[in-house]
Structure 1
Amino acid sequence: MTESLPRVEIQLWRADAIVLFNWLMSVDINQVPITHPAEKQALADLVTRLEHETDIAGVTREEIDQARGEVSRDMGW
Structure 2
Amino acid sequence: MHSELPRVRLELCRADAVVLFDWLMSTDLDAVPIAHPAQKQAFIDLADELESQTDVLAATIEEVALAQQEVAKNMGR
Give the alignment's TM-score, normalised by structure 2.
Answer: 0.92
Q: Which residue matches 1:70?
A: 70
Give the alignment's TM-score, normalised by structure 1.
Answer: 0.92
Asked if 1:3 corresponds to 2:3, the answer is yes
The residue identity in structure 1 corresponding to 2:36 is: H
Gaps in structure 1 of 5+ consecutive residues = none
Asked if 1:57 corresponds to 2:57, the answer is yes
Separation in structure 2 between the aligned mates of residue 22 and residue 15 of structure 1, nearest angstrom? 11
Question: Aligned residues, how many?
Answer: 77
Q: What's the CA shift string for 1:9-61, capped at 9, x where partnerless? A: 01011111000000000010100111110000000000011112211001000
The residue identity in structure 2 corresponding to 1:31 is: A
Q: Which residue matches 1:42?
A: 42
Structure 1 residue 7: Cα displacement: 0.6
